[in-house]
Structure 1
Amino acid sequence: MLDKLKLDKRFIKTLLVLAVPIILQSLVTASLNLLDNLMIGSLGENEIAAVGISNQFYMVYYYSIMGITLGAGIFMSQFWGKKDVSSIHKFLGISLVFGMAATIFFAVAAFFVPEKIMSIFTKEFIVISLGRDYLRMVALSYIFTTISLAFAASLRSIGQTKIPMYGSLVGLMFNGILNYIFIFGKFGAPAMGVAGAALGTTVSRCMELSFILFIIYKNKNIVAGSISQLLDFNFALVIKFFKTATPVIFNDVMWIGGITAYFVAYSKLGTNATATMQIANTINNVFNIFGIGIASASAILIGNKIGAGLEEEAKKDALKISVFGVMIGVVIGILFFAVAPLIAMLFKITPETYHNVIIVLRIMAAALPLRFFGIVQIIGVLRGGGDVLYAIITELVAVWCIGVPLSFLGAVYFKFPIVLVYLMVCLEEPFKVIATIPRLRSGKWIKNLIK
């Protein structure tokens, strides 16, 4: 298989043409979060913990919307295989309507009850107070983010990955400048601390969305449907969407719910542990992007081929992608392991937290090849092939039957150090490999949803 992969340069090129813009866009998006954390990190560990906890709520929102847009993307990718533009508009409309409905719920909660959200994770007043200011200021950005995600998913489904990437670059530029101004009070602006980071993020998300919509509609892009075209869907189509998308949405919500549960467990060990995992996860998310980018590109390739009736080719591509994903995981993992101490030095933290961050980062780096294989299988092969039910079962068993119980067992019952608790959580990764290899080989994951 490795020899075959090395010789198949055309396939690798096709995969990378799709994956690289997705990776770059995701790196830019992750850089927004990293930039926030670096600037906030210069203020102290309470601020790091407050923003980290606030971002856990954001991640629950984000993955709820991602579930909706990715569910629609499964259909749009297969319809693009048939060059059915009208149906692409309809499913984009469905993702916008139901995505905004969910967004309103999260935005209202962030604005009106931020203290209750923060108190789930911590009882420390200063952390709750800082997090409250951040959540209220950032709530409006959820609306901009949802619309951007819906259009980005539609563009990716037709192989146009550069527009969302450029939009993210615009957002990064504004976020970096505005965060510097509002966090530290530069150029006559007040020093707002964590609230300044939230304000900078909100404005940058608005600018990102404005850029994406301007490019799409100015150039009359394929996905540039009118309001009537976007809303030209009936109840039967909505039912069809939810039959496939509900497992995806449920999977993403339950998955991020599990990640949030991890943070609840970590927070039981104190602000030091919370800050350790917030820093480590922020960095880990940056490196995970390479696996997610390969997986997202894989889903597009596989979905397009299934939609075009080329199921045997899709099966062969899935095997190649699986090997390629592990190879990328090894390379990125080695780099990640090597730079861990340098990354930890960027934050204003105590020596104990610095030591813990380095160890956790290196555990994350060592687990990267296994994690990339699981990401490629669940996001790329299973979802791209329409086999969302098997994907959800694998993901949720790994998180809720292995990761979450072990995190609470280690943190709450045994009160192990944060490094050991995280090492226990990592046992979910080999399970995903064991669970997905038989499915990959069987070919049962190929489901043509548009026949």
Structure 2
Amino acid sequence: MRLTTDSEEVIRLGADYLVISSVSMFAVACVASMAVGLRAMHQPGLSTFFSGIGILSNIFLNWVLIFGQFGFPAMGIKGAAIATVISGAIEVTCLFSYLWFKKHIIAFGLDDIRASLVLDKITRFLKLSLPTTFNFLAWAGGLFAYHAIMGQAGVQGLAALSVMTPVESIALAMMIGSSNAAAVLVGNQLGAKNFGPVYYQAWATVILNVAIAIVVAILLLFSNQLILDAFSALTPETRHLAEQFMVILAVGVVLRSVPMMAIVGVLRAGGDVKFCLYQDLIAQWVISIPLAAFGAIYLGFEPQWVYLLFLTEEVVKWGTCLHRMASKKWMKNLIDA
């Protein structure tokens, strides 16, 4: 927490939340694994349904534990963390109970675990999963670095960035969904060795994602005041800064559309995971983060300009992703790999 802010109050509250909510990572791992399997089988509705149960229970438990409803003490930030842990447990219990009760094909037991512990299978799995794991770790570390850099630009900038986080998640939701759907379709085509059609299908999905992003960006620009009205506790200074961040976010949504679809929906579906790893490391850690840090710490840029510098990562990825897709080096059948 001290890497992101100098405020002792923010550090104390953030540390309390992280210590408790870290337990929920076990639930996240279980649900995410099953969700990927269900999507690959063209059954995304099941994981979405149980995710909805988790979200609704989280909202309800947040209300109960943060504000002290039904005789519970008002626990504030600790209540939010406890609600996250409990709702994660509820989601896992409901999902796994359903799968085993229905004898679903991805419901597993000890015999299935033993059968999967074969050196050849483990080696193939690690060959694909380890670069992706390191990719996500580096990317998540980059997001942390962005928050730390913004913290150096001032508390108001960090507060405005915190407002942008949920707004950005909602704005990117449809593009994330379409990218994951494309990954299933592209993976199926590559598995069937339909290399000709899948190449053009991949480009079509990229164009679709750009179109979605433009619509979302326009909606953000026209509804920014309405969105910020939901954050009633913002100071006038933070709100003004958040309004500027919203314009930059709208641009960022369009910039993220191509890399998101290319990486999630196309390149990783073809097993091109090492390229994705190297690309993220260079775009984020070699270019974007140093530029933003230099602007915030040494040049004293205002928060909105620091936020804009974060987008240099996406600009770099536009060129590298499109070039990689055009090369067709990602078109591999992973079954025969």
Cα deviation 1:33-87 (Å, max 9, x = unaligned): xxxxxxxxxxxxxxxxxxxxxxxxxxxxxxxxxxxxxxxxxxxxxxxxxxxxxxx
- Give the aligned partner of residue 253 of structure 2: 368
Answer yes or no: is the 8 Å Cα contact 1:306–1:385 preserved in 2: yes
Equivalent-residue separation in structure 2 for 1:166 and 1:360 (angstroms): 33
**Does 2:100 correspond to 1:220?**
no
The correspondence of residues 262-411 of structure 1 with structure 2, limited to 5 A, is 262-347=146-231, 348-411=233-296
Q: CA deviation at 1:271?
A: 2.4
Cα deviation 1:358-379 (Å, max 9, x = unaligned): 1111111123222111100011
**Does 2:194 correspond to 1:194?**
no
SS in 1 for 2:153: coil
Percent identity over the alignment is 33
**Does 2:61 correspond to 1:178?**
yes
Q: Counterpart amino acid of 2:91?
A: E
- Give the aligned partner of residue 241 of structure 1: 125
Aligned pair partner of 1:205 in 88, 95, 102:
88
- Give the aligned partner of residue 259 of structure 1: 143
Runs of 4 or more above 3 Å deviation: none
Aligned pair partner of 1:440 in 321, 325, 336:
325
Equivalent-residue separation in structure 1 for 2:75 and 2:236 (angstroms): 27
Equivalent-residue separation in structure 2 for 1:131 and 1:400 (angstroms): 25
Equivalent-residue separation in structure 2 for 1:231 and 1:387 (angstroms): 29
Equivalent-residue separation in structure 1 for 2:172 and 2:261 (angstroms): 11
Equivalent-residue separation in structure 2 for 1:133 and 1:383 (angstroms): 36
Q: CA deviation at 1:269?
A: 2.4
The correspondence of residues 46-195 of structure 1 with structure 2, limited to 5 A, is 118-195=1-78
5+ residue gaps, structure 1 = 1-117
Equivalent-residue separation in structure 2 for 1:410 and 1:344 (angstroms): 27
Q: CA deviation at 1:284?
A: 0.7
Equivalent-residue separation in structure 2 for 1:132 and 1:366 (angstroms): 33
Q: CA deviation at 1:434?
A: 1.1
SS in 2 for 1:265: helix
TM-score by length of 1: 0.72
Equivalent-residue separation in structure 2 for 1:246 and 1:132 (angstroms): 29
**Does 2:335 correspond to 1:450?**
yes
SS in 1 for 2:206: helix
Answer yes or no: is the 8 Å Cα contact 2:50–2:94 preserved in 1: yes
Answer yes or no: is the 8 Å Cα contact 2:288–2:312 preserved in 1: yes
Equivalent-residue separation in structure 2 for 1:170 and 1:147 (angstroms): 15
Cα deviation 1:110-166 (Å, max 9, x = unaligned): xxxxxxxx2232232211211122122212211111111111111112111011101
Q: Counterpart amino acid of 1:376?
A: M
Q: Counterpart amino acid of 2:236?
A: P
Q: Counterpart amino acid of 1:193?
A: G
Answer yes or no: is the 8 Å Cα contact 2:154–2:303 preserved in 1: no
Cα deviation 1:392-414 (Å, max 9, x = unaligned): 22222211122101110111111
Aligned pair partner of 2:299 in 406, 410, 414:
414
Equivalent-residue separation in structure 2 for 1:306 and 1:381 (angstroms): 10
Q: CA deviation at 1:187?
A: 1.8
Answer yes or no: is the 8 Å Cα contact 1:325–1:376 preserved in 2: yes
Equivalent-residue separation in structure 2 for 1:172 and 1:237 (angstroms): 35
Equivalent-residue separation in structure 2 for 1:258 and 1:231 (angstroms): 37
Aligned pair partner of 1:429 in 296, 314, 328:
314
Equivalent-residue separation in structure 1 for 2:226 and 2:217 (angstroms): 15
Cα deviation 1:296-322 (Å, max 9, x = unaligned): 111111111111222222112101111
Equivalent-residue separation in structure 2 for 1:220 and 1:304 (angstroms): 24
Equivalent-residue separation in structure 2 for 1:308 and 1:391 (angstroms): 23
Answer yes or no: is the 8 Å Cα contact 1:402–1:425 preserved in 2: no
Q: Counterpart amino acid of 2:292?
A: S
Cα deviation 1:331-359 (Å, max 9, x = unaligned): 11111121122111212111010011111
Equivalent-residue separation in structure 2 for 1:401 and 1:435 (angstroms): 14
Equivalent-residue separation in structure 1 for 2:242 and 2:208 (angstroms): 29
Q: CA deviation at 1:230?
A: 2.7
Equivalent-residue separation in structure 2 for 1:261 and 1:408 (angstroms): 9
